[in-house]
Amino acid sequence: MLLDRPVDMDVPTAEIVSIYRLAEYYGDPLSPVSAVFVRSEGDFPCSLIFLQSEEDGQTLVDLLLSSQCGNILLEDIPGEIRDSALAEGGNIILSAFLNAVNELTSGVASISVPSAAHDMLGSILQVMAVLFGQYGDDALIVDTSLRVGESSRSIAGKIVLLPDPGSLESLFGKLRVF
Amino acid sequence: MGKAHHVGMADLVVLSSPETLVTLGLGSCIGLVIYDSAARVAGMVHIMLPDSGKSPAALEKPGKYADTAIPALIEEVCRKGGVRSRLKAKMAGGSQMFALPGAPADFLAVGSRNSKETLEILKRLGIPLVASDLGGNKGRTVEFSTETWMLSVRILGKGTTDI
């Protein structure tokens, strides 16, 4: 539940993608998106990104703020406050996802403060490509989609998990995959 | 305007006038153009990381690292008719999309390391840098025309600037 609205999350899928194809992987690299980035340190060090179309990102911000700001008009709220709300919304969603992962493995993790950006999809994906590019030519992407709220004003988003090199082996070890 | 050639991550493309070089959504990466307008030839490389550390991967994808990309680009431009002493450079990119207080200093600052390394190598190899648009926290889409020899830089919400 987020803001008293049900959150529906798909089963995550994992894929190995060439970093050189990553910029076009989720669609038109020029389309505007909202992204929230966090780092998690602990038993399973990784980076997480919550990706939304710019439109859905702004709808999420409206929902978060309208429950807090009483009589203040949404359009009077400064951009920095909106970005801070976006970062917090993304942080809640990413933390919930990460907690679920860590519960499976009874791992312990700390999560950084969130950082929000509005930019072209291709530029955001490039951050991921570069994180993986330091170690090789492939990226491992754990990807899930979620929707907040009922049909009338539902918001879609994507969680992308980027495990640090080596950290996936420790996760699999805990899950006794090997 | 000629045909547009897309330069993907770690790609190196050299072509002749009147074609156009395009790279979409540069974040921390660098779009570096080296050209000889008299010979009507230009090349672009999409640099991802500053230093190959002599990694064998650099042989396969020299465009990935600044230290291997720049010599490879110069060589290719000269092979297609460019004259070494006439070469000029323009570049854009090297931004930092996310800022995390408390994160290891160079974890997300690849952009500024890319810019610094590229500028140093150009200087060392004696290629004059005519124009650049570097840093900040926004992504850039860049397009280089081999008719006007201008690099057009588009930033989401800020419009287009020709440099």
pLDDT digits (tens, 9 = 90+) for B105-162: 566 788 999 999 999 999 999 999 999 999 998 999 999 999 999 999 999 888 899 9
In a domain, A50, yes or no: yes
Is B25 close to A134, i.e. CB distance below 8 A?
no
CA distance B44 to chain A (A): 16
pLDDT at B62: 92
Residue A4 token pair: 């008293």
What is the reported pLDDT for A120? 93
At B30, which CATH number? Answer: 3.30.1330.200
Determine whether B78 is an active site residue: no
Judged against a pLDDT cut of 80, whether residue A47 lies above it is answered with: yes
Domain count, chain B: 1
Beta strands in A81-164 (DSSP E): 109-111, 115-120, 138-148, 155-163
- So what's the ipTM on this one? 0.84
A16 touches chain B (CB under 8 A): no
Q: Which of A56-65, B41-50, B137-146 has the lowest mean pLDDT?
A: A56-65
User: A167-177: string of b/e by CB count within 10 Å (b at 16+)?
Assistant: bbebbeeeeee
CA gyration radius, chain A: 17
Evaluate whether residue A2 is within a structural domain.
no
Which chain A residue is nearest to residue B28, measuring alpha carbons? A127
- Within 8 A of B102 by CB-CB distance, chain A residues are 112-113
Kindly provide the b/e burial profile for residues A91-121, where b requires at least 16 CB atoms within 10 angstroms of the residue's own CB.
bbbbbebbeebbeebebebebbebbbbbbbb
Among A32, A35, A133, the residue with its CB nearest the CB of B48 is A133
Q: What is the CATH number of the domain that holds A58?
A: 3.40.1550.10
Average pLDDT, chain B: 91
What phi, psi does B28 have (nearest 5°)?
Answer: -80, -10
Domain holding B64, by residue range, is 4-162
Mark yes or no for CB contact B98/A23 under 8 Å. Answer: no
* Alpha-carbon distance A174 to nearest alpha carbon in chain B (angstroms): 26
Does A160 lie at the interface with B, CB-CB under 8 angstroms?
Answer: no
Mean pLDDT, rounded, for B68-76: 96
User: Among A172-176, B94-98, B133-137, which is the least confidently predicted range?
Assistant: A172-176
Assess if residue A1 is contained within a domain. no
> What sections of chain B are H helices per DSSP?
57-60, 66-79, 110-124
How many structural domains is chain A composed of?
Answer: 1
Summarised one tens digit per residue, pLDDT across range A125-154 is 998 888 888 877 888 777 777 777 665 567
Instruction: Answer yes or no: are the C-beta atoms of B150 and B37 closer than 8 Å.
Output: no
